[in-house]
Structure 1
Amino acid sequence: MAERMLQFVSVEQHQPDKRLAAERTHDFDEIYEDFEPKRAEIQASRCSQCGVPFCSVHCPLNNNIPDWLKLTAEGRLEEAYEISAATNNFPEICGRICPQDRLCEGNCVIEKGFESVTIGAVERFVTDNAWEQGWVKPLSPRHERPQSVGIVGAGPGGLAAAEQLRRLGYQVHVYDRYDRVGGLMIYGIPGFKLEKDIVLRRHKLLEDGRIQFHLGKAVGAEDSDDEIAFSTLRSRHDAVLLATGVYKSRALGGPGSGLNGLVKALDYLTASNRRSLGDQVPAFDSGELDARGKNVVVIGGGDTAMDCVRTAIRQGAKSVKCLYRRDRANMPGSLREVKNAEEEGVEFVWLAAPDSFLGDDAVTGVRASRMKLGLPDATGRQSVDPVENSAFTLEAELVIKALGFDPEPLPTLWNQPELEVSRWGTLKIGHKSFMTSLPGVFAAGDIVRGASLVVWAIRDGRDAAEQMHRWMEQNAQTAQAAE
């Protein structure tokens, strides 16, 4: 091992080559180039193979990272892929969009003195190579089970659960109100972070494994052409998983908050992604959701805000500013994304929050105040307080609200008052069973934990699938004993 691994003392960290900002801001293609096999092997060899792998400990999926790094360093790429895929349903996606600087790489043992191993880039390389070599195969269960499972939501949590349950032989049906599979991976995350063919090829693979998708089919209170009643869904399947995600944008009040030109982040990103996919988007064509030639202000400091500012740059905005009430050290988004945005011409206005919006019919500016950091609050983050007499104005013809997402009121929308929710509106579940207050109805992902990362949704989907399998097995044994 010593000959191939522990090379961090002599080999420097090297990320895949990144296209220059002047080039990449003219398209929505991914900004990072692919690793060459030899370079991937060299970077993987920097792993220290430590006794307590903090990279795995801080990965929500507990991926066996040192194992597949060692196999990559040895050129055993098919085995590396098998180890990676054993704990992660979508490693090529996580390798692209996970905030590794806050998870695995940020907790790498060698990070402090020698810079971390490029875990995300190697993960992406291993799986992309597996696709090219034909090692990624459709699901083929050893035996078919008669039980049917309905999954509401074709995002990462729902898809991970669908794959796990189909692998066990269940008849899996996935329902989604959108016309493509992927949820926010297809409509929320821009192509420069995750090109859409990466998601679409996963969709085809799952279809080839005989998972049945019902797209453009929302769940509602009553049956109709484009909706299926929740009660119908329950009667049709032996178990149901709710993996709807959270899509309700948080409101931003204040004087002028109803002006034209103030838009929701998800509406803005969806329009851009649909246009990239070749769809007709009237709101984009009209200029409502197009940043071209405009002074743009994005309010928020998370990954969604980073997606918005970088999209606006590519649409040809006159200027793009990100207004965030805390400082760089306290922002929730990936610092790697902040760096990419700054390289591309985004200006960050730290420690500032909006007070009001100026304009008659359409927004012309954002009136904001400077903020100062106070003592840590209950979450451990520093509180923020306004600085007296510090108001200033930012010119803006387009203001994008990227303040996060809350759950939709599912019990009301589906006429299911007995479906219990928390005080935040998320679904209540048994945290070991993943079952809601309705027997046979399970839930996972953001609709349970609130807006979070794709990797956490995958973890929840896998865990929920395991509990659904256990529950259906117990039901089958009970029915068999009764006979």
Structure 2
Amino acid sequence: MTRKMLQFIRLHQQAPDKRAADERAQDFGEISVAFDDDRAGAQASRCEQCGIPFCQIACPVANNIPDWLMLTATGRMEEAYAASSATNTFPEICGRICPQDRLCEGNCVLEQSTHGGVTIGAVEKYITETAFENGWVKPPRPRVELTQSVGIVGGGPGGLAAADALRRMGYKVTVYDRHDRMGGLLIYGIPGFKLDKSVVERRTKLLAEGGVELKTGIEIGRDLSFAELRARHDAVLIATGVYKARALGVPGDSLSGVHAALDYLIASNKVGLGDTVPAYEDGTLNAAGKDVVVIGGGDTAMDCVRTAIRQGAKSVKCLYRRDRANMPGSQREVANAEEEGVSFEWMAAPLAIEGSGKVQGVRAVRMHLGVADSSGRQTPVAIEGSDFTLPADLVIKALGFEPEDQQALFGAPDLAVTRWGTVWADEKTAQTSIDGVFAAGDIVRGASLVVWAIKDGRDAAASIDTYLKAKATRAAE
């Protein structure tokens, strides 16, 4: 069906329907019901086709959103997928997990003019699922095979995006990951109710069919030395991400029952994938029947509280030191959590984890927002005499992630790092302090969004291509 654009004047914004909160809180299935053809086309037709597309400007991978919205509205779905996938390696993943309310949709002119933004993420997901159903999504097979090879350390979104791009260029590509599955945080960090694991596995299968060699269970520096890795390949890309949990920095941080968010989420996701996880089976990383307190206000904290609800927690509370308007996570995720039964303690910070050997509660203090710091955000200040205690059998630290000591892990003291511990890489070329070694994603920029990792991986692939072509030219002279 062909539709006219600018239909916002007669069509209201309609987000995808969600399963009822009491139903979805019982399982790890995705909570949103996918758009059908009619709703996707109708919502796409609301686009204003702006001369200055602020949605595209706000998108880290610069998706040509107005074009594929127009193509969807007019029923030209294969072209819509071609436009969508031209700038994004994994549009079906970003359509599901990107915080569109902070990126494309939040910057839509219709949103800013109070008409309700175009539901870009849901349409993006619809486009790619339609493409898969019709067989339009193909493995990354190159036209010409090249002799040079690239080794990629890390099978997360950045590494896999680079692998896809480099394979299409014709390079031999091998991805190494220390986990037993490819996907990184897409598989082990993000719960299934946001991203079904079959969606990720479908993509890694395509990469393998396209000739990308995927090697799991290999940790560089343990199973394969960094020197040997470099000797195997003409170029190397470090895309390991950041996994080290930030400490609470309060008394009782090491009590039994206090765990890092990623440890908790990995255990839950492995169980969902059918693995046996002893720490889940014995209750250590299982919230069933427990009073749970999650400390933090980002998307990882929302993943933890919503996972705890599904595991059958007795109560779930989120402790965050700023107010709702100043939290770093997606407001949609907060709303989903509230619907599912999570309670929020805004403007509160932990003072100590209490208990005798095992956690029994979290002592916290009320906060108010003081003057702005150098980043422009108001600094939380404790209110004297406002202490209170939350009962807790399980405390989850979701305060963000820091890089591991990459120099020590790789046995590469000449790999330069920044004062934050991230790998230093030239901002234009993505090359590190070691010739032929590149870095991309969170290990360079710090903990960030999946879509930024995809952009960084694609950009690094382009730089590696330039480097290897110059290397080949020099060798031929």
Normalised by the length of structure 2, the TM-score is 0.99
Matched, 1:445 2:446: no
Tell me, in whole angstroms, the C-alpha distance in 2 between the residues paired with 1:418 and 1:138: 37
Match of residue 411 from structure 1: 407
Partners of 2:291 and 2:316 within 8 A in 1: yes
Match of residue 265 from structure 2: 269
Match of residue 16 from structure 2: 16
Unaligned regions of 5+ residues in structure 2, if any? none
Tell me, in whole angstroms, the C-alpha distance in 1 between the residues paired with 2:59 and 2:391: 41
* Number of residue pairs matched by the alignment: 475
Match of residue 476 from structure 1: 472
The one-letter amino acid paired with 2:336 is N
Partners of 2:236 and 2:436 within 8 A in 1: yes
Matched, 1:389 2:385: yes
Matched, 1:117 2:118: yes
Tell me, in whole angstroms, the C-alpha distance in 2 between the residues paired with 1:358 and 1:383: 26
Matched, 1:348 2:344: yes
Tell me, in whole angstroms, the C-alpha distance in 2 between the residues paired with 1:471 and 1:210: 22
Partners of 2:3 and 2:73 within 8 A in 1: no
The one-letter amino acid paired with 2:184 is G
Match of residue 191 from structure 1: 192
Q: 1:379 offset after TM fit, Å?
A: 1.2
Match of residue 89 from structure 2: 89
Match of residue 165 from structure 2: 164
The one-letter amino acid paired with 2:204 is H
- Secondary structure of 1:81 counterpart: helix
Tell me, in whole angstroms, the C-alpha distance in 1 between the residues paired with 2:254 and 2:147: 53
Higher mean C-alpha displacement, 254-263 vs 179-188 = 254-263
Q: 1:281 offset after TM fit, Å?
A: 0.3
Tell me, in whole angstroms, the C-alpha distance in 1 between the residues paired with 2:212 and 2:200: 16
- Secondary structure of 1:379 counterpart: coil
What do residues 425-455 of structure 1 show as CA deviations (whole Å, max 9, x unaligned)? Answer: 0011111111000000000000000000000
What do residues 228-282 of structure 1 show as CA deviations (whole Å, max 9, x unaligned)? Answer: 1000000110000000000001111222222111011000000000000000000
What do residues 354-385 of structure 1 show as CA deviations (whole Å, max 9, x unaligned)? Answer: 00111112111000000110111111211111
Partners of 2:3 and 2:74 within 8 A in 1: no
Alignment equivalent of 1:429, drawn from 425, 429, 448: 425
- Secondary structure of 1:228 counterpart: coil
Alignment of 1:286-325 (within 5 A): 286-325=282-321
Tell me, in whole angstroms, the C-alpha distance in 2 between the residues paired with 1:245 and 1:25: 30
- Secondary structure of 1:34 counterpart: coil
Tell me, in whole angstroms, the C-alpha distance in 2 between the residues paired with 1:441 and 1:216: 22
- Secondary structure of 1:114 counterpart: coil
Matched, 1:98 2:98: yes
Partners of 2:3 and 2:41 within 8 A in 1: no
Q: Which runs of 4+ in 1 moved over 6 A?
A: none
Match of residue 63 from structure 1: 63
Match of residue 27 from structure 2: 27
Tell me, in whole angstroms, the C-alpha distance in 1 between the residues paired with 2:322 and 2:91: 32
The one-letter amino acid paired with 1:415 is G
Unaligned regions of 5+ residues in structure 1, if any? none
Q: 1:138 offset after TM fit, Å?
A: 1.0
- Secondary structure of 2:220 counterpart: strand
Tell me, in whole angstroms, the C-alpha distance in 2 between the residues paired with 1:79 and 1:258: 54
- Secondary structure of 1:297 counterpart: strand
The one-letter amino acid paired with 1:120 is G
The one-letter amino acid paired with 2:367 is M
Tell me, in whole angstroms, the C-alpha distance in 2 between the residues paired with 1:253 and 1:56: 40
- Secondary structure of 1:193 counterpart: coil
Alignment of 1:147-296 (within 5 A): 147-220=148-221, 227-296=223-292
Match of residue 335 from structure 1: 331
Tell me, in whole angstroms, the C-alpha distance in 2 between the residues paired with 1:241 and 1:419: 12
Matched, 1:142 2:143: yes
Tell me, in whole angstroms, the C-alpha distance in 2 between the residues paired with 1:258 and 1:428: 32
- Secondary structure of 1:384 counterpart: strand
The one-letter amino acid paired with 1:53 is P
Q: 1:417 offset after TM fit, Å?
A: 1.0
Normalised by the length of structure 1, the TM-score is 0.98
Higher mean C-alpha displacement, 326-335 vs 254-263 = 254-263
1:3/1:162 CA distance change after superposition, 3 Å: closer
1:210/1:3 CA distance change after superposition, 3 Å: closer
Q: 1:3 offset after TM fit, Å?
A: 6.2
The one-letter amino acid paired with 2:172 is Q
Alignment equivalent of 2:360, drawn from 358, 364, 377: 364
